[in-house]
Structure 1
Amino acid sequence: MTIDSVRGAPEPELVQLLTPEGERVEHPDYPLDVTAEELRALYRDLVVVRRIDLEAVALTRQGELGIWASLLGQEAAQIGSGRALGEHDMVFPTYREHGVAWCRQVEPLNLLGLFRGVNHGGWDPAEHGFHLYTIVIGSQTLHATGYAMGMQRDGVLGTDRAGATIAYFGDGATSQGDVNEAFVFASVFNAPIVFFCQNNQWAISEPLERQTRIPLYKRAQGYGFPGVRVDGNDVLACLAVTRKALKDAREGQGPTLVEAFTYRMGAHTTTDDPTRYRLKAEEESWKLKDPIERVKAYLVRNQLADTSFLDEVDAEAKQVATALRKACLDLPDPRPLAMFEHVYAEPHPLMTEEQERFAAYLASFEEASA
């Protein structure tokens, strides 16, 4: 029994504009005009981001990164929603939104530096409209809601300076209190925010059935704002749905919950072994819904891209990954005491004491070797 068939409930509507076979379909609520050039650009994004992700996994396996949270299988959800963002929007990510970071022009090397342990994030959230990665599950939804309420109080909604926030989280995070509190605040204050849930169906080793008894997007109804389920492997549908949700938020219509129904093809992180809790057949069935292959099929079938273009994109992705690997290996190790820098705006007595004790500890090794 699937979660959607509980108590005889009908299968939820799935907004889809591009089928797994690469056929274009229309949806009355989410029309999308997209040019051949834009389609090729989306395909390029998908391919390059996947290649970056695979390189990061390889670097982790080789001991060059401490850990990595792969986005394999979720590229369409991230690129589609990421390309829907406007200049004044602010993103609040988890630790897996590498594709959205790409759309916001955050250098991939900064992401790798974070997981290599040589920087604290390495980018300016205000410059990119992309906040720092959040490790604590679900807490970014409250941050995003507060930021959205600030936008609301700045009086910019409905103007050419209007912006909205978008908070990314997974299906497992919907069981966190922070997420539910964020839903309450966003609803009662009509905050300009989009809650974007990448439902990859596995919260580490727990299946979706352990998180909810109804489709996640229907939870929004209980909080008093709209929810929609979109094919998370369809980059066009994710683009159209997120674009409308952001537009509604900027115009003062309040929050929307978008559930991007997708699948985590790899491990939760590189410390995880998914073969211990899920069947290989499940992964194989989702390979047929690959977000990149359906765009490729549509481009080729409609003669919008030829072999030379596809080869060019593959070559570019390889070049990006090669340069990224070299740059990652060339990153200098930080000074041990640098961890105490930029923690507080002003000196903090407890931290100063800890810094002095750690400095003395490090100095003891030099004395012992003298």
Structure 2
Amino acid sequence: MTIDAARGRPPGTVAESPPELVRLLTPDGERVEHPDYDVGLTAEEIKGLYRDLVIVRRLDAEALALARQGELAVWPSLRGQEAAQVGSARALMPGDMAFPSYREHGVAWCRGVDRVRVLCSFRGINHAGWDPREHNLHVPTIVIGSQVLHATGYAMGVQRDGTEDAVIAYFGDGASSEGDVNEAFVWAAVQNAPIVFFCQNNQWAISEPAERQSRIPLYRRADGFGFPGVRVDGNDVLACLAVTRKALDNARSGQGPTLVEAFTYRMGAHTTTDDPNRYRLPAEVEAWQLKDPVERVRAYLLKSGTATGEFFDEVEAEAQDAGSDLRRQCLALPDPDLDELWDHVYAAEHSLLADERARFASYLGSFDEVSR
């Protein structure tokens, strides 16, 4: 069976973007108006978003190279999804709490997480990487969809505390089929929780296409739970910012949850353990390259005369320096004490844990005896 046949399309065809997208910036860099959404950004603020996109892409590329060279155990690249992450994260207020999955490196950048700390868990240095309370960004979640239920519980707590903060939960199209995500929708709806469900529909849940996840566009699932859903061009950083900002404002004002589906594309592999050439067509990738989120902002800045070549050179130099610094810091990270493996497993030590710790220490000690 061909890839196209497995996806239910005629052989040799490529899926097109659906028409019902909120878009403020076309793929060729033209600004368009939308009756319900506007960002109202200054030229300098748009240039700042471009800087975010370029640096996030460079850091991701460096981490991918580190993984390919054996310096990281694995890496889930975000290439192609930069606008969805930067746009939504820049809509957050300082007190808002974000719950990521394992691919939201762009969100971590926008929340001020030290670039090398994003790599720590992928290098096996520690369990998480950063203090969630310091950045109002929860640690990465590997268990698919579980963070969405955690985020809903947190939002219910925010609601009961009477603050004006909101919560955002990031997940992918594949996670939308998980029980935890749908349970979160139920709880958020009936509790009118101040939360935004931000689904990055990158078309592929590893090798499973989006059309095998749902017979309707994902954002329309919100209708069945009783709250609004909206689909945004996930490669348009301006639209992602505008849509997320409005959804967060609605959450803060007591209007409850919103499901945002950012229609985007994962340009690379699911992780460094995946080979996307086995399940998707090169023509599909090529079609999405024409919708590149970084290049469309660059095109807008050039066409509008907002930025000069000097600006682009400065951003590129800064991004290159950031990538080089990330590599240097990553390679300088100390190896962890293996005994730390047992820390924070339970709230208090007990006999089973102590026994396992002792047996593991004995096992490690056996290598010292062999070397002698």
Structure-1-length-normalised TM-score = 0.95
1: distance between equivalents of 2:174 and 2:347? Answer: 34
Aligned-pair distance for 1:343? 2.6
Alignment-derived partner of residue 288 in structure 1: 290
Describe how 1:137-152 pairs up with structure 2 within 5 A.
Answer: 137-152=144-159
Q: Give the alignment partner of residue 96 of structure 1, picking from 99, 103, 109.
A: 103
- Contact persistence 1:184–1:223 (CA under 8 A): yes
**Deviation sequence 1:287-328 (CA, Å, 0-9, x none):** 100001110011011111000100110000000000110110
2: distance between equivalents of 1:30 and 1:348? Answer: 55
**Deviation sequence 1:42-66 (CA, Å, 0-9, x none):** 0000000000000011011111100
- Contact persistence 1:80–1:237 (CA under 8 A): yes
**Deviation sequence 1:204-259 (CA, Å, 0-9, x none):** 00111110000000000000000000000000000000000011111111000000
Aligned-pair distance for 1:369? 3.0
Aligned-pair distance for 1:129? 0.5
For residue 72 of structure 2, give the secondary structure of its aligned residue in structure 1.
coil
Alignment-derived partner of residue 80 in structure 1: 87
Change over 3 Å in CA distance of 1:68–1:11 after alignment to 2: closer
Alignment-derived partner of residue 203 in structure 2: 201
Residue type of the alignment partner of 1:91 = A
For residue 74 of structure 2, give the secondary structure of its aligned residue in structure 1.
coil
Instruction: Tell me which moved more, 339-348 or 75-84.
Output: 339-348
Alignment-derived partner of residue 127 in structure 2: 120
2: distance between equivalents of 1:341 and 1:353? Answer: 14
**Deviation sequence 1:127-155 (CA, Å, 0-9, x none):** 10000100000000000000000001112
Residue type of the alignment partner of 1:326 = R
Residue type of the alignment partner of 2:158 = M
- Contact persistence 2:168–2:195 (CA under 8 A): yes
Alignment-derived partner of residue 314 in structure 1: 316
- Contact persistence 2:219–2:261 (CA under 8 A): yes
1: distance between equivalents of 2:140 and 2:39? Answer: 31
Unmatched runs of 5 consecutive residues or more in structure 2 = 1-7, 10-16
Alignment-derived partner of residue 174 in structure 1: 176
- Contact persistence 2:119–2:129 (CA under 8 A): no
Alignment-derived partner of residue 7 in structure 1: none
Alignment-derived partner of residue 325 in structure 2: 323
- Contact persistence 1:205–1:274 (CA under 8 A): yes
Alignment-derived partner of residue 14 in structure 2: none
Alignment-derived partner of residue 339 in structure 1: 341
Aligned-residue sequence identity (percent) comes to 70
2: distance between equivalents of 1:95 and 1:105? Answer: 17
Matched, 1:33 2:40: yes
1: distance between equivalents of 2:270 and 2:299? Answer: 28
Alignment-derived partner of residue 18 in structure 1: 25
2: distance between equivalents of 1:301 and 1:368? Answer: 68
Structure-2-length-normalised TM-score = 0.94
2: distance between equivalents of 1:44 and 1:116? Answer: 27
Aligned-pair distance for 1:266? 0.3
1: distance between equivalents of 2:216 and 2:22? Answer: 17
- Contact persistence 1:12–1:215 (CA under 8 A): no
Residue type of the alignment partner of 1:357 = R
Aligned-pair distance for 1:11? 5.0
2: distance between equivalents of 1:180 and 1:343? Answer: 28
- Contact persistence 2:101–2:171 (CA under 8 A): yes
Unmatched runs of 5 consecutive residues or more in structure 1 = 3-9, 157-161
2: distance between equivalents of 1:67 and 1:111? Answer: 13
Alignment-derived partner of residue 135 in structure 1: 142
Alignment-derived partner of residue 218 in structure 2: 216
Aligned alpha-carbon RMSD (Å): 1.2
Aligned-pair distance for 1:338? 1.3
Instruction: Tell me which moved more, 112-121 or 283-292.
Output: 112-121
1: distance between equivalents of 2:351 and 2:292? Answer: 53
